Amino acid sequence: MPTPVLLLLGDSQIHDYLTKLLQENHYFPLLVHDSHELIESLKEKRADIILIDCGAVTLHGIRLIPKIKVSCPRCRIIIFCDKEHLCDKAHRELIKEILNIGVYACILTPYKDWEILSLISHCPK
């Protein structure tokens, strides 16, 4: 059984890229459309790895991360962020706050396949 990975992504390009990369490497990406669907999937124990982009965090709020950690303490959360967003002070503060909450990793553009796969492969299966 391939390792399931939940995706909550606001950017369709990131979604397409990650879906293709994960499928090619025998992972099973499950796209969720909102924070409620994500939390429900975690309650059903559908994944241990969650990939979220900073757009989704902005849309659903920073409180999404603690909700994930309560619903699934063992889950690894990996955040994807466009390096260009770091020019914005508010966005930098958002990323800083996310990291302080305790996400597993934050990956900045340009995304490298090996970097993503390495982080995912170190997560429990």
CB 47 within 8 A of CB 22: no
The pLDDT tens digits of the residues spanning 20-53 come to 999 999 998 999 999 999 999 998 887 889 999 9
Render 61-125 in DSSP notation, one character per residue. Answer: -TTHHHHHHHH-TT-EEEEEE-GGGGGSHHHHHHHHHHHHHT-SEEEESSP-HHHHHHHHHTS--
**Mean predicted lDDT score pLDDT of the chain:** 89
Cβ neighbours of residue 113 closer than 8 Å, sequence gap 6 or more: 21
Both tokens of 117, joined, read 């796969």
Mean pLDDT of 68-94: 89
* pLDDT classification of 91: cutoffs 50, 70, 90: confident
First to last CA, the chain: 10
Confidence at residue 90, expressed as pLDDT on a 0 to 100 scale? 86
For domain 17-110, the CATH class is alpha beta
Confidence at residue 2, expressed as pLDDT on a 0 to 100 scale? 63
User: Quick check: 92 pLDDT over 70?
Assistant: yes
User: Quick check: 124 pLDDT over 60?
Assistant: no
